[in-house]
């Protein structure tokens, strides 16, 4: 029977007796939290933790869309005696049509072809409450039950959810809820104890963790907006407001399960690190220690920073601004690639270093920036710029230090996105940071769009924001800021005015970010005739080149190291392979531009 039939926007049955058999259908948008929220508040499902079954996708027509803002942990499964790497299905997943899928959709909309299911996903109740089982037991199986139950055979409960995406509209889930927990007229009791943390809450926890916060600090961040009288009521919902112990345990368990110990980093350690050290391209190698991190609540992970002498010399010559930017989705374990780049006087970007880190947090970004600072050589052309390697405590890796780097300390402006972890790392190194104007305008426009501000008024606000930024002194900037707030008062009234003023004051005029976008921070460089970047476009372009080198797909760490440094031994994974360079690396090809454009 086609579950798509009978779809409507209202409930088809009365809520007076939720235990009756029913067929309930509705539509929700694909992506975001719409599907999870709809299932969480549904009368039949709101007290249970649903279990996800397989999701069938017609990959010929549609494929999952990568989301760089979500850290997708991978795991290994055995399928047909072959070990493969898989990722978990998420409620927030989005999909895009292939070229063949777009053509199929065009035919369907033109009435020349029949509609068909592109994605089919089954979710069900695990039967942990007083659900009636197939064998007749309530909550538990009867003593005489001889069913050879499998995990997903729905023996424990008959409630199931099917979610479909049709080829005619890939932006909409068609949801159908079937079955009941018990027979009509029987009383049903929900499961007791803690409930599973919702997917969106888990994402928020791990985002806070990426800022470099310790587990308990993450919990404090989660409850900062809760008022004390409401806490007792809010904490009754353990899915949206987990206790401090559950937050701490979730972080540690997640990081222990996905501690980048799948053998990829081990291969890099054995096959590439020695060659990189011998060639001088290794700036920093730090091994992660999940057990130590869990005991001492420290925030450490794998960090591998590489560069070469040409790239470091270009950083000294173009030392005004250093742009850094993180790229996710290139590595199958979820590691981030942080590129650091300077801009030549002729306008092109010169890479300073590439850093692969298991987690893009404050500590790892701090270590990557410190590795650059300690290895940008002095400007003396007669100096040999000698360097040496120091072993990290407890045999956790190596750190390179160029001896002449302290003769004239390298202290550039660091251009970042509005990422708190990057700002914290710069502050610890006493480096001044500035914001990329592209990401700044993008963030402001997203807020204005969310508040339903017209395009005309949005342009006025962005223009006013830029006029404030162009102030020649802090006093003049403060005067213009007050005028900017008056413009908001004139354009908007009531709640929208209050929300926008609060947003701009708290998000942009706070001490942490104010000087990062005001031009008074860049003005000293401009007065000295130095070239200053206003956007991180050079970083973005370099990230695209790296993505093109690896084919735009998730790769092993060793493959990524090979593309960045050119060592065949890292790519082959064979200890007997020759450790000589087999190709020109990204570092070689781009850093060499500086030599050609003196």
Give the pLDDT of residue 24: 79
In whole angstroms, how far apart are CA 586 and each of 271, 306, 310, 338, 441? 20, 11, 12, 14, 30
Give the pLDDT of residue 597: 42
* Interatomic CA distance for residues 287 and 536, integer angstroms: 29
Nearest-CA neighbor of 210 among 326, 323, 332, 74?
A: 326
Helical (H) or strand (E) element with 201: helix 199-210
The number of C-alpha atoms within 13 Å of 62 and in the hemisphere containing its C-beta is: 24
Tens-digit pLDDT string for the chain (598 aa): 333 333 333 333 333 333 333 457 888 888 778 888 888 888 788 778 888 877 888 888 998 876 545 555 555 555 555 555 556 788 888 888 999 999 999 999 888 889 999 999 888 888 887 888 888 788 788 777 776 565 567 788 888 888 999 999 888 999 998 888 888 777 777 777 777 888 888 877 877 765 556 777 777 777 777 776 666 666 677 778 787 888 888 877 776 665 444 445 655 666 557 778 888 888 998 876 544 443 333 445 788 898 888 888 888 887 678 888 887 766 555 678 888 888 776 667 788 888 888 778 888 899 999 999 999 988 888 888 889 888 888 777 889 999 888 888 888 889 898 888 899 999 999 999 999 888 899 899 999 998 889 999 999 999 999 999 988 888 999 999 999 999 999 998 888 899 999 999 988 999 889 888 998 887 776 666 666 777 767 767 776 666 665 554 555 566 667 667 766 544 444 444 434 444 445 565 554 444 444 4
Give the pLDDT of residue 22: 44
* Interatomic CA distance for residues 540 and 339, integer angstroms: 9
Q: Counting beta carbons within 10 angstroms of the beta carbon of residue 567, is it exposed (0 to 12), middle (13 to 18) or buried (19 or more)?
A: buried
DSSP-assigned letter for residue 387 = E
Q: Which residues contact 393 (CB under 8 A, 6 or more apart)?
A: none
Q: Where are the domains of the chain?
A: 24-178, 199-257, 264-436, 437-534
Q: Which residues contact 39 (CB under 8 A, 6 or more apart)?
A: 45, 50, 91, 123, 161, 175
Neighbours of 358 (CB within 10 A): 26
> What is the DSSP secondary-structure string of 51-91?
EEEEEEE-TTTEEEEP-TTS---EEEEEETTEEEEEE---T
Residues in the chain: 598
Six-digit token pair at 32? 């975001």
Give the pLDDT of residue 261: 42
Nearest-CA neighbor of 120 among 164, 90, 152, 88?
A: 164
- Taking the alpha carbons of 574, 577, 579, 582 in that order, is the dihedral positive or negative? negative
Give the pLDDT of residue 75: 53
Give the pLDDT of residue 407: 83
CA 147, distance to chain mean position in Å, is 43
Q: What is the pTM of this model?
A: 0.58
Mapping DSSP to helix (H, G, I), strand (E, B) and coil, where does residue 385 land?
A: coil
Give the pLDDT of residue 577: 42
* Interatomic CA distance for residues 309 and 320, integer angstroms: 19
Nearest-CA neighbor of 444 among 496, 494, 503, 497?
A: 503
Nearest-CA neighbor of 241 among 211, 208, 197, 193?
A: 197
Neighbours of 5 (CB within 10 A): 9
């Amino acid at each position: 029977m086609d579950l798509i039939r009978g779809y409507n926007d209202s409930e088809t049955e009365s809520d007076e007796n939720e235990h009756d058999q029913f067929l309930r259908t509705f539509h929700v948008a694909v992506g975001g939290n719409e599907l999870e929220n709809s299932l969480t508040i549904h009368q039949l499902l709101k007290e249970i933790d649903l279990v996800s079954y397989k999701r069938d996708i017609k990959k010929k027509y549609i494929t999952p869309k990568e989301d760089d803002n979500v850290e997708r942990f991978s795991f290994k499964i055995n399928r047909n005696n072959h070990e493969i790497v898989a990722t978990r299905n998420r409620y927030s997943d989005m999909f895009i049509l292939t070229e063949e899928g777009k053509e199929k959709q065009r035919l369907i909309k033109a009435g020349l072809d029949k509609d068909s299911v592109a994605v089919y996903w089954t979710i069900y109740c695990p039967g942990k409450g007083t659900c009636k089982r197939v064998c007749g037991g309530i909550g538990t199986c009867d003593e005489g039950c001889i069913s050879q139950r499998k995990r997903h055979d729905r023996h424990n409960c008959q409630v199931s959810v099917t979610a479909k995406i049709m080829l005619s509209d890939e932006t909409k889930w068609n949801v159908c809820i079937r079955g009941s927990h018990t027979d009509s007229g029987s009383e049903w009791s929900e499961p007791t104890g803690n409930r599973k943390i919702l997917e969106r809450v888990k994402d928020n926890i791990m985002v806070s963790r990426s800022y470099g916060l310790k587990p308990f600090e993450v919990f404090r961040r989660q409850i900062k907006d809760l008022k004390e009288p409401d806490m007792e009521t809010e904490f009754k919902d353990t899915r949206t407001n987990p206790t401090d112990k559950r937050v701490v345990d979730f972080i540690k368990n997640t990081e222990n399960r996905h501690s980048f110990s799948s053998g990829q980093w081990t291969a890099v350690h054995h096959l590439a690190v020695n060659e990189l050290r011998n060639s001088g391209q290794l700036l920093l190698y730090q091994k992660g220690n999940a057990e130590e991190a869990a005991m001492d609540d420290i925030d450490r992970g794998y960090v591998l920073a590489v560069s070469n002498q040409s790239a470091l010399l270009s950083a000294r010559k173009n030392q005004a601004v250093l742009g850094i930017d993180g790229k996710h989705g290139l590595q199958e374990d979820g590691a981030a690639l942080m590129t650091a780049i300077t801009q030549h006087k002729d306008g092109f970007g010169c890479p300073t270093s590439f850093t692969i880190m298991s987690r893009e947090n404050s500590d790892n970004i701090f270590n990557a920036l410190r590795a650059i600072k300690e290895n940008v050589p002095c400007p003396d052309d007669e100096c040999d710029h000698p360097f040496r390697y120091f072993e990290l405590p407890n045999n956790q890796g190596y750190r390179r230090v160029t001896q002449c780097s302290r003769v004239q300390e390298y202290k550039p402006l660091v251009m970042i996105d509005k990422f708190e972890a990057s700002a914290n790392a710069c502050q610890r190194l006493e480096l001044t940071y500035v914001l990329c104007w592209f990401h700044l305008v993008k963030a402001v426009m997203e807020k204005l769009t969310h508040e339903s501000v017209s395009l005309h008024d949005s342009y006025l606000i962005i223009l006013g924001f830029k006029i404030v930024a162009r102030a020649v002194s802090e006093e003049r900037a403060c005067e213009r800021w007050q005028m900017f707030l008056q413009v908001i008062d004139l354009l908007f009234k009531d709640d929208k005015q209050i929300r926008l003023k609060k947003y701009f004051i708290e998000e942009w005029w706070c001490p942490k970010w104010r000087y990062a976008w005001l031009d008074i921070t860049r003005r000293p460089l401009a007065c000295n005739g130095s070239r200053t970047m206003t956007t991180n476009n050079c970083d973005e372009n370099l990230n695209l080149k790296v993505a093109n080198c690896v084919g735009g797909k998730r790769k092993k760490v060793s493959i990524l190291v090979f593309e960045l440094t050119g060592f065949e031994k890292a790519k082959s994974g064979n200890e007997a392979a020759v450790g000589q360079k087999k190709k020109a690396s990204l570092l070689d090809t781009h850093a060499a531009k500086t030599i050609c454009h003196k």
